[in-house]
Amino acid sequence: MELSEAKQISLTLPDGSARSYPGTVSGAEVAASIGPGLAKAALAVKVDGVVKDLAAPIEGDAAIEIVTAGHEDSLELLRHDCAHVLAEAVQELYPGTQVTFGPAIENGFYYDFARAEPFTPDDLTVIEQRMHEIVDRNETITREIWARDAAIRHFAGIGEKYKAEHIETLPDDVEISIYRQGDWLDLCTGPHLPSTKKLGHAFKLTKISGAYWRGDARNEQLQRIYGTCWETEKQLKAYLNMLEEAEKRDHRRLGREMNLFHLQEEAAGSVFWHPKGWTLYRAVERYMRRRLEAAGYVEVKTPQLIDRSLWEASGHWEKFHEHMFIAESEDRALAVKPMNCPGHVQIFKQGITSYRDLPLRMAEFGACHRNEPSGALHGMMRVRAFTQDDAHIFCTPEQINSETVIFCELLQSIYTDFGFDDVVVKFSDRPAVRAGDDATWDKAEAALLDAVREAGLDYSLNPGEGAFYGPKLEFVLRDAIGRDWQCGTFQVDFVLPERLGASYVGEDGEKHRPVMLHRAILGSFERFLAILIEQFAGRFPLWLAPVQVVVATITSDANDYAERVRDRMAAAGLRVEADLRNEKINYKVREHSLAKVPVIAVIGRREAEEGKVALRRLGSKEQEILALDDAVIRIKDEATGPATAGNADA
């Protein structure tokens, strides 16, 4: 065919410019036509929003992007390839090992293997070295489409029963895509890099864990190898440093070292709070209670056990019953509450509410239980028993904007008091499975978006992640070492008041449905306290520290004065202990420093004679000598904490 007769296709680039090509073209050819530098840097091509192999044919007009390092999709691509290189390395080193699935995940990748002999940490070093060798081989990666029967025969014939079984379960209309990586191949939908060399060497294997075939505990147990992968060695080093720092800050380890709490199998997913940990818990609770009272909230308490009928009426039974703890009594099914919302509606419904009573801000430190799988439990970050700093604002549609602004200001102020200044907001719209019709969701989403704009918040879209009854905002905190934690939420709900029959009398004398704004700031006390422990690495600001001061004696003849110092500080509202043991002062200081006590008041013979104390701050070898009254005033002022917090023991 003459060139002039070929079908021309037009490809639009990210800058809006368009390029024409005489018929089908690949991403690699497009990159080369733009310039040799882009051709060398190209990793994949994005066609109408879908990432594809560079070799994939582009057969019609489309908007395209050449994916290179730094592109929003490049890391997932690299991590997926790293999983394949891991699998190839394992099968080269340990013949007979079967591969199952190996996806990219946040910050890295994993691959599940079936092997009789367990992998060891030493094996990870050997495997990682082989992965580097595979990268250096520059193995070409190509995609092939196989007939279903041929693919099943191939994998079954080489002893890959998991791959063969998976292919058998795929729908008939699913294309069987095979990626060949040098002489090694795997079942995969892709996309992938054009060769292993493009992966680079910024990866590291991190740990081994158990897994089950298809994630089902009834199936065979597999071995999962995790790794992390980045675009540059600098990024990899920064991430590994962060992991090392995170290990030091792990709330489970610090909880043991500081004697705050413990967890045990007999109460899986529940926390045993020790005196010092419970002191921390109550300091946070008192602070939150003061903030809520000042913001016009009324506090309530709702039952733990509620009949199934209410959960059915609210819609939670259909959505959550698998995660509820159910008790049977007198032929009735009772659920331990997994959330507080239906109970708050029941309180709202008592008596007659006028529009003049709105907004009604109803708060509860509500103890909730959810039947999370045991394998998903993780310290206090993921538990079965937790307390929400929950509240529901019942208001008119006209009050949504003002209540959203008020809430966002309160939330930002509280986060700042706890040391979190970097907050990201995500707007989550309707999920696939939801209560209420599209018109109701249209109204709720429009109302929340309008309120967000009124509050002046920057936000990103989080499609399909709303609650089943309404759209929501998610507030994500960034901690001291760069990790993100989703804590606060705010949801606009037109559905639950309708389902549970809540109403108020409007200015027109008629009954109207209130809008229900669901909101939490900490999320759950357990998880937020775990985040706080890791944020501060146990070195809490004075107003939060479980023990604020330890009075430690140098000699036994200072004991009487040390006890008077302790009593004087306790009378001032400080959380103080005395260490009168017959131990050297350096031993005492070291021990209390490991326990992260912010202030040690050292008392010797001279301090006792002069009525003074020597204050030593955590992390400092310097001492400040003060008269007792001056020391008490100084420490008490510091223990007041944020201007909005008040004394943590008030």
- Active-site residue (options: 84, 344, 472, 566): 472
| Alpha-carbon torsion (423, 429, 435, 439), positive or negative | positive
Decide if 220 contacts 115 (C-beta within 8 A). Answer: no
Half-sphere exposure (Cβ direction) of 385: Cα atoms closer than 13 Å: 10
- Active-site residue (options: 181, 223, 388, 399): 388
Dist CA 338 CA 320 (whole Å): 8
Return all residues near 273 (Cβ < 8 A) that are at least 6 apart. 260, 261, 281
Cα 107 from chain centre: 13
pLDDT reported for residue 643: 58
- Active-site residue (options: 392, 434, 519, 527): 392
Backbone angles phi, psi at 25, to 5 degrees: -145, 155
Low-confidence ranges of the chain (pLDDT < 70): 1-6, 643-650
Decide if 193 contacts 181 (C-beta within 8 A). Answer: no
Which pair of tokens denotes residue 173?
């209309």
Token match 């439990």: residue?
Answer: 377
Return all residues near 255 (Cβ < 8 A) that are at least 6 apart. 261, 262, 277, 379, 380, 533
Decide if 104 contacts 206 (C-beta within 8 A). Answer: no
Decide if 540 contacts 598 (C-beta within 8 A). Answer: yes
pLDDT reported for residue 650: 38
Burial class (CB in 10 A: 0-12, 13-18, 19+), 551: buried
Per the annotation, the verdict on 392 as an active-site residue is yes
Per the annotation, the verdict on 539 as an active-site residue is no
Q: How far is CA 39 from CA 105, 181, 550, 562, in A?
A: 27, 21, 65, 75
Using only C-alpha atoms, what is the Rg of the chain? 30
Per the annotation, the verdict on 341 as an active-site residue is yes
- Please choose, from the candidates 358, 312, 314, the residue with its C-alpha nearest in 3D space to the C-alpha of residue 514: 358
User: Which residue type does 79 have?
Assistant: R
Decide if 370 contacts 324 (C-beta within 8 A). Answer: yes
Which pair of tokens denotes residue 86?
């891991």
Per the annotation, the verdict on 472 as an active-site residue is yes
Dist CA 338 CA 324 (whole Å): 6
Decide if 466 contacts 436 (C-beta within 8 A). Answer: no
Domains and CATH numbers, the chain: 3-67 (3.10.20.30), 75-247 (3.30.980.10), 270-535 (3.30.930.10), 549-639 (3.40.50.800)
Decide if 199 contacts 144 (C-beta within 8 A). Answer: no
3-state secondary structure 394-410: EECHHHHHHHHHHHHHH
Which pair of tokens denotes residue 242?
């962060």
Which letter, b or e, does each residue of 133-159 get, where b requires 16 or more Cβ atoms within 10 Å of its Cβ?
ebbeeebebbbeebeeeebbebbeeee
Dist CA 253 CA 614 (whole Å): 31
- Active-site residue (options: 291, 370, 519, 527): 370
Which pair of tokens denotes residue 261?
């709490």
pLDDT reported for residue 612: 94
Per the annotation, the verdict on 172 as an active-site residue is no
Helices 233-249 + 525-536 axis angle, to 10: 110
Cis check: omega of the bond before 191, within 30 degrees of 0: yes
Which pair of tokens denotes residue 179?
């990626």
Q: Which helix (H) or strand (E) holds 156?
A: helix 148-157
- DSSP summary character for residue 384: S
| Alpha-carbon torsion (187, 193, 194, 198), positive or negative | negative
Dist CA 151 CA 153 (whole Å): 5
Decide if 518 contacts 493 (C-beta within 8 A). Answer: yes
SS3 26: strand
Cα 451 from chain centre: 25
pLDDT reported for residue 648: 40
Beta strands in 82-199 (DSSP E): 98-99, 104-105, 108-114, 141-146, 176-181, 184-187
Dist CA 165 CA 174 (whole Å): 15
Cis check: omega of the bond before 359, within 30 degrees of 0: yes
Token match 């070898």: residue?
Answer: 621
Backbone angles phi, psi at 144, to 5 degrees: -130, 150
Decide if 592 contacts 535 (C-beta within 8 A). Answer: no
- Please choose, from the candidates 110, 108, 132, the residue with its C-alpha nearest in 3D space to the C-alpha of residue 119: 110
Dist CA 402 CA 417 (whole Å): 23
pLDDT reported for residue 308: 93
- Active-site residue (options: 204, 518, 566, 596): 518
Query: What pTM value is reported for the model?
Result: 0.79
What is 307-370 written as a DSSP string? EHHHHHHHTHHHHHGGGSEEEEETTEEEEE-S-SHHHHHHHHTSS--BGGG-SEEEEEEEEEE-
pLDDT reported for residue 568: 96
- Taking the chain, what is the end-to-end CA distance rounded to the nearest angstrom? 88
